[in-house]
Amino acid sequence: MGNRGMEDLIPLINKLQDAFSSIGQSCNLDLPQIAVVGGQSAGKSSVLENFVGRDFLPRGSGIVTRRPLILQLVNSKAEYAEFLHCKGRKFVDFDEVRLEIEAETDRITGSNKGISPIPINLRVYSPHVLNLTLIDLPGMTKVAVGDQPVDIEHQIRDMLLQFITKESCLILAVTPANTDLANSDALKIAKEVDPQGLRTIGVITKLDLMDEGTDARDILENKLLPLRRGYIGVVNRSQKDIDGKKDIRAALAAERKFFLSHPAYRHIAERMGTPHLQKTLNQQLTNHIRDTLPGLRNKLQSQLLSLEKEVEEYKNFRPDDPARKTKALLQMVQQFGVDFEKCIEGSGDQVDTSNLSGGAKINRIFHERFPFELVKMEFDEKELRKEISYAIKNIHGVRTGLFTPDLAFEAIVKKQIIKLKEPCLKCIDLVIQELINTVRQCTNKLGSYPRLREETERIVTTYVRERDSKTKDQVLLLIDIELSYINTNHEDFIGFAKGAKSHKKHTNQLSDSRVQVIRRGWLTINISIMKGGSKDYWFVLTAESLSWYKDEEEKEKKYMLPLDNLKLRDLEKGFMSSKHVFAIFNTEQRNVYKDLRQIELACDTQEDVDSWKASFLRAGVYPEKDQGENEDAMNPSDTVSMDPQLERQVETIRNLVDSYIGIVNKTIRDLMPKTIMHLMINSAKDFIHSELLAYLYSAGDQGSLMEESAEQAQRRDEMLKMYHALKEALVIIGDISTTTISTPMPPPVDDTWLAKEPRYPPPSSRPATSTAPPPSRPPAVRGPTPGPPPPLNPSPAFGAPPVPSRPGPPPDSSAVPLIPSRPARVPPALPPGIPR
């Protein structure tokens, strides 16, 4: 063979295939190979049998090859075959090989004519073969036969593309000579995946079946439809020879005799035939492997490096070692504590950029959700004034009071303070839920040990729920402390004397600060399609108005809505919409925007909705109350006109209640996060670091805790097998010498004939004596091509008598001969370097 220093390359690739097939992994490596493609009954299987010298492939009409057959030919002194799915069994009788292929095909595809992309691996050892790896693929067809699916053509095409699209795959395009080469399915699909022709080798079969008086000389000389790697002609046994059990060696001798005796092929006989095809494929595959070897080595090394870190802990792994289990348990618990603390406190490594989690969500509960819940219980003005008037009257009884009673103030304040319990307990529940979610998230890393994960999650969750009751008790105690003593000497409290006056001053101060911007951001205004449809705008919320603009540059203002008499309303999410919606409306039943009584605003997430609501609360826009709460207030029988003195007393207590409740809310908002952090979150962190391990030891046997899951054991075994297969592959590649004698890639040829419809007649319509190119043939680049040289004495087209060689000096070697576009009496000049 031509590559003396590289004769081990093809066995090398076979070893790599075995290394990865043994572990059931492809390792995402495209190993170099040759795929045989062609139409049905083009002679693909016969070519492979000629290589082996034995009849071993299924025969019949229609589609016979229904699964890819990976055929590895190995030069050896003994002659036998082996299947990958029958490890250890050697087939000496090749009739049994055929039966095994048929049985294995039917096992996957059934007895009908269906196909499957799952390959059959067959290795043939013989002294009569050269090292070669080929893939026999199903023949391309157009029409479904029998029980075949109607899309059989597309199924076969997709299967072929799975193999030949890989850059490491050489394409052996087989076309029978008794059909028009321009309609070759094999050349067409090869052109799709290999437009430059770097990987395509043409094979012409059935040369002996061409019509009498015709030949394929121009094709085999790479003139008619040129390929970069050229064409090789072969003569297979006929069906009569196969039925008559004609020996393949005799068939090869007959093939040799055919090429030597045929007047059109005798001058290129040394470059035709099955032996030359096998030698050429061996050389080209070896060269191809050599060219792809550096990239293959780099890919192996990069995959080995990516596995190195994960495999490090598995190299000396002993599942039943008690010391290993103890060490793993300590490491897992310690890592769980570190992960939990990072989730709560925040960390710069492995930041989640898609969702809020852990401490960030708890922070949002503390400073957005909880304040929102507090303001949601904002008292209704009419209801509050009615309660104050009733309290004043009930305290005075039958007497007419001259002074504003402080007992009425305390009664109203305590009633409002009691209402704080509900949002405080709700805040604790939200934090508890987020803590449990964080624990589950952190235990995901314990998935290798299901029992350990389950026990860890149970113990920590139970502890958190125990702290839940203690935290709620403490928060309720805080509210009871607030109820126990109403501190009217608080420095922020306006006092009785300054009730009305100070409250007005406080209101004026609030109005002066309304110019500050509270929030900016994108929102969607939901409007019906008839009125323009939904649109996104850039919203700016201040203490006195809500404005929206075309974009964040805030240059083109679309509208400004004053916040007076506005309230918020929750809406259900639309059936066809993924966004969360809330609405703004006017309490006096006026249009808010254009002719709309309410504006529907949409956000991507519920968290965004809650955040915007909290911002609106800061601006003084509150959620609407349930209508049932005000029914009694609207009852005319309960509405009593107040005298001026009572009105002044109600106004004073109203201002005092507002001032004091503001102080209590401020205190509760400050103490709630501190209480939850101390009694629940920090306590949970301390428990995980100091007590979790002891609870785990007491929960059960350490051995059962550290039992691996079946999935983890399988993953470890597969990873170790892959790691060792990669190391073995790198050792195999390292042993190969890269010094070689090789032929360079042939130069490009004009293969535009594959891209457009040719205008030449089929080769079967031309007489055998004609060797000149046909009219309108695309010009071919004359140079060192893999095809043989043209005949010594070319003849003009259409059967004209031979013309002797033109006398004179040899043509200029730098000039490219031109081919006439119509028949000429004088043939074109011969290419340089061809003897006359």
- CATH class given for the domain over 339-448+458-494+644-682: mainly alpha
| High-pLDDT (> 70) share of the chain, % | 72
Sheet of 200-205: strand order equals 80-83, 120-126, 69-75, 132-136, 33-38, 169-176, 200-205, 231-233
Pure H helices in 346-405 = 359-364, 370-376, 381-396
- Does residue 569 have a pLDDT over 50? yes
| CA-wise closest residue to 186 among 39, 33, 70, 35 | 39
- Rg (Cα) of the chain, in Å, rounded? 44
* pLDDT exceeds cutoff 60 at 795: no
- For residue 806, give the amino acid letter: R
Give the pLDDT score at 512.
45
Cite the residue boundaries of each domain of the chain with CATH code 1.20.120.1240: 339-448+458-494+644-682
Q: Is residue 264's pLDDT more than 60?
A: yes
Mean pLDDT of the 625-631 span: 48
Alpha helices in 595-709 (DSSP H): 606-618, 631-634, 644-676, 682-690, 692-699, 702-705
Confidence class of residue 319 from pLDDT cuts 50, 70 and 90? low
pLDDT at 373: 82
Q: For position 790, what pLDDT does the model report?
A: 44
Write down the pLDDT at residue 768: 43
If pLDDT is split at 50, 70 and 90, which confidence band does 75 have? confident
Among 449, 451, 342, 459, CA closest to 693: 459
Q: For residue 377, what are its two tokens?
A: 């219980």
Q: Cα separations (Å) of 448 from 74, 451, 459, 561?
A: 44, 9, 18, 57
In this predicted model, which residue has the larger pLDDT, 747 or 571?
571
At 80 the three-state DSSP class reads strand
Q: Closest by alpha carbon to 42, among 158, 153, 138, 151?
A: 138
Phi/psi of residue 560, each to 5°? Answer: -130, 125
> What pLDDT is attached to residue 675?
93
* Average pLDDT of the segment spanning 132-140: 83
Beta strands at 557-562 and 169-176: parallel, antiparallel or unpaired: unpaired
Q: How confident is the model at residue 158 (pLDDT cuts 50, 70, 90)?
A: confident
Of residues 501 and 64, the one with the higher pLDDT is: 64
Mean pLDDT lowest among 379-393, 511-525, 734-748: 734-748
The candidate with the shortest Cα–Cα distance to 474, out of 419, 421, 416, is 421
The whole-angstrom distance between residue 523's C-alpha and the CA centroid of its chain comes to 31
CA distances from 413 to 97, 227, 322, 383, 667 (A): 96, 96, 65, 14, 15
User: Interhelix angle for 682-690 vs 692-699, to 10°?
Assistant: 60
- pLDDT band at residue 86, thresholds of 50, 70 and 90? confident
- The residue among 122, 129, 134, 68 whose CA lies nearest residue 284 is 134
| 498-502, 596-600, 640-644 — most confident range | 596-600
Q: How confident is the model at residue 736 (pLDDT cuts 50, 70, 90)?
A: low
814 or 395, greater pLDDT: 395
**Which pLDDT band holds residue 812 (cuts at 50, 70, 90)?**
very low
Weakest mean pLDDT among 142-156, 169-183, 628-642: 628-642
CATH code for residues 516-619 = 2.30.29.30
pLDDT score, position 53: 77
- pLDDT of 722 > 80? The answer is no
Kindly tell me if the per-residue pLDDT of 343 is higher than 70.
Answer: yes
Q: Where in the chain is the domain with CATH 2.30.29.30?
A: 516-619
Q: For the residues 528-556, what does the mean pLDDT come to?
A: 84
Q: Pull the structure tokens for residue 334.
A: 């310690």
Q: Report the pLDDT value the prediction gives residue 500, as an integer from 0 to 100.
A: 43
Q: What is the pLDDT of residues 7-30, one digit of tens each?
A: 566 776 776 666 565 555 544 556
C-alpha distances in Å from residue 409, one per residue of 344, 642, 675, 824: 42, 18, 29, 121
Average of per-residue pLDDT across 654-670: 86
Task: Pull the structure tokens for residue 326.
Answer: 């103890």
Residue 313: predicted pLDDT: 61
Each residue of 311-337: b (16+ CB within 10 Å) or e? beeeeeeeeeeeeebeebbeebbeebb
Give the tens place of pLDDT for each residue, 187-209. 888 888 888 888 888 999 888 88
Chain segment 686-701, per-residue pLDDT in tens: 999 998 888 888 876 7
The confidence score (pLDDT) of residue 427 equals 92
Q: How confident is the model at residue 473 (pLDDT cuts 50, 70, 90)?
A: very high
**722 or 127: which leads in pLDDT:** 127
From the list 42, 52, 464, 500, the residue with the least C-alpha distance to 252 is 52
- As a whole number, mean pLDDT of residues 724-738 equals 69
Percent pLDDT > 90 in the chain is 8
Angle at 109 between CA 106 and CA 113, to 5 degrees: 90
**Residue range 168-176: mean pLDDT, rounded:** 87
